[in-house]
Structure 1
Amino acid sequence: MSYLASHNRYDTMTYNRSGRSGLKLPAISLGLWHNFGGIDSVEKGREMVRRAFDLGITHFDLANNYGPPPGSAELSFGSILKADFEAYRDELIISTKAGYGMWEGPYGDFGSKKYLVSSLDQSLKRMGLDYVDIFYHHRPDPNTPLEETMAALDLIVRQGKALYVGLSNYKPEQTREASRILKQLGTPCLIHQPSYSMINRHVEDGLLDVLDEEGIGSIVFSPLAKGMLSDRYLNGIAPDSRAAGPSVFLRPEEITDELIVKLRKLNEMAAGRGQKLSQMALAWVLRGGRVTSALIGASKVSQIEDAVQALAVAHFTDEELTLIDQILQ
């Protein structure tokens, strides 16, 4: 049976304007960094993408190297688009990136015009698309002039291969200068994608201020701090958790006794709000309207459903915010 999207998919999702642009993004977006690669079940991924869209999640975030192996997440997503979403393409925001190592030789990494244009051409073929909605430079390149990298992003928009451009992992002053160059070229920066969570607050040291001043939106990855802000570590490291496996993203030594005590206190606070810890953590990064969207990963449908339910209790009192800061000192 072919997929028919839920008729009430837009009824409960919150949509926020990205900076000073005309584009609105869902408060919760779905990232395909993990669980959509060549080693994963395409049918399971298909089930998650369908459910996400039925819940009002219109934004799906990829990168050229997502997998494993690199490129396979885009291939999997392309097969899902072809099977289920051709009729809904104009309701979707699809983003991809380039900036990390993708292929051998001197032209498959960082930020040259050669690499960025070639990479996006490959991404479009893998996904079966004529264009993406957002194309990001994934990380700064210390050896390529910023003018060249930004000119490549501007060229990509003028070629019709992307509607908007964004940055990821750029520091505040790098972001300000990149934004200046893009404005001069006539292709303003739409969005910045940094990491941000209750535990990792580096964006508060200048980056959010730059984004406000430049009129740039933000979508934050790892809002659950690599899974630490969930119920997976309240009693230590569960045998089937990310920290117990071979993951390079979360090491066992990061789950300290001191952290577990803090997580338990946060979990008690979330329960008092009628939420799971993960839901409170998502609501927290979205508080105050400075973050456009929280980018989640998922390995099963229920995690997507939980994330969207976080928006039902989005407000924090001053006392609650103060208590969170005290717990995490």
Structure 2
Amino acid sequence: MITHQPNPHYIADTGRYENMPYKRCGNSGIRLPRLSLGLWQNFGEVDAFSNAQSMVHRAFDLGINHFDLANNYGPPYGSAESTFGKLMQKSLAPYRDELLISSKAGYDMWPGPHGIGGSRKYLISSCDQSLKRTGLDYFDVFYSHCFDPDTPLEETMQALDYIVRSGRALYVGVSNYSAEQTKQAITILRDLGSPLLVHQPRYNMFDRWIEDGLTQVLEDNGVGSVVFSPLAQGFLTNKYLTGIPDGSRAARSEQIHLQADQITQDKIAKVQRLSLIAEDRGQSLAQLALAWVLQPTSVTSAIIGASKVSQIEDCVAALDNLQFSAEQLAQIDQILVA
């Protein structure tokens, strides 16, 4: 629990809610900022705390009051939650009721058969550990981070229901579930009395799998979505217009999600053409990509990642121009399917 005195030097911007648009999450009473901040990278023990603090403070000052965590974010595992806990202690505690903080469990976290998956033992144990690291009394949303084919879906959903009923979280979420898995989860949770609030899928211009059924399931059942990787791990930015720059995610040997061999000449050519549309709209490529993923009615918010404050500011500026003409959307589709 948060016991330290907050840092008196941080006072949140009094105009923080004036310019950030918020959208209702499915049929719930929750309204999320159109952009949320993810702490997957750059908030670990290996990263500078002062930079993490500056980014979170700036995000909140700009109206981003949703911060997304998971048990194994770091590195090392757990350290992003510890960093956020330190931030809560130092400066954010007075604003707790304004914040929507989420965490997840599902991928590997500790050795042995009970340190991964969707079992009741793993999910509840992991949630308790995450609460301890963050110093929070509860999470606003707790997610099953991924579907576990070796655990009955009923067990996973019953564990999430228990997490809510025991006061560990206020709402239930799932992430990386297929359309059919999501549909089944919705039915089970509805019967248990802890309806599914939100789904967190990967979605960007180069990864549109959610359009093949998932978005319809979410809309039909009044479930919101918070999409991650809207910039395709930075590929949908000006950084890769001429290839793979030194120091980029794709150039790092330890990077497991954006591989250099995925950045083909064909994709670079598409990114270059997309950048011309962005330029015509008075936006950066990243701003275009963010505006595009926010178009589907089922998308409540997009999770951005950042390594410095200026990147957060650039992303938030995308919200100044979210409207697309039918011609622009057709041009983008033509580029992507070519």
**TM-score category by the smaller chain?**
over 0.9
Q: Report what 1:328 is aligned to.
A: 336
Out of 271, 279, 288, the residue aligned to residue 263 of structure 1 is: 271
**Residue deviations 1:244-291, cap 9 Å, x none?**
111121111111111111111110110110100000100001014320
Cα distance in 2 between the residues matched to 1:251 and 1:174: 28
Number of residue pairs the alignment of both structures matches:
329
Partner residue, 1:272:
280
Partners of 1:289 and 1:306 lie apart in 2 by 23
Give the partner amino acid of 1:268: L
Runs of 4+ in 1 over 6 A off after TM superposition: none
Q: Does 1:175 align with 2:175?
A: no
**Correspondence for 1:309:** 317
2:172 aligned residue: 165
Q: 1:56-96 CA deviation, whole Å, 9 max, x = no partner? A: 00000000000011000000010011101111000000000
Paired amino acid for 2:193:
G
Determine the structure 2 residue equivalent to 1:244. Answer: 251
1:232 corresponds to 2:239: yes
Q: Which amino acid aligns with 1:298?
A: A
Q: TM-score, normalised by structure 2?
A: 0.96
Q: Following TM superposition, by how much is the alpha carbon of 1:109 offset from its aligned partner in structure 2, in angstroms?
A: 0.8
Give the match's secondary structure for 1:320.
helix
Counterpart residue number, 1:299: 307
Q: Are 1:284 and 2:292 an aligned pair? A: yes
Distance 1:200 1:108 in 2: 29
Q: 2:297 & 2:176 partners in 1: Cα distance?
A: 20
For 2:80 and 2:252, the matched residues in 1 are separated by: 21
The equivalent position to 1:54 in structure 2, one of 57, 61, 65, is: 61
Structure 2 residue runs without a partner (length 5+): 1-7
Shift in Å, 1:174: 0.4
Residue identity in the other structure for 1:314:
L
Q: Is the 8 A contact 2:26 2:298 kept in 1?
A: no
* Shift in CA distance, 288/208, structure 1 to aligned 2, threshold 3 Å: closer
Residue 67 (structure 1) aligns with: 74
| Other structure's SS at 1:78 match | helix
Distance, in Å, in 1 between the alignment partners of 2:60 and 2:297 is: 23
Partner of 1:97: 104
| SS of the residue 2:278 aligns to | helix
The sequence identity of aligned pairs, in percent, is 59
Aligned counterparts of 1:103 and 1:288: Cα–Cα separation in 2: 37
Q: Which amino acid aligns with 1:301?
A: V
> What is the TM-score of this pair, normalised by structure 1?
0.99
Q: CA RMSD in A?
A: 0.8
Q: Where does 1:101-112 land on structure 2 (aligned, <5 Å)?
A: 101-112=108-119
> Which runs of no fewer than 5 residues in structure 1 stay unpaired?
none
Using the alignment, how far apart are the partners of 2:19 and 2:297 within structure 1? 17
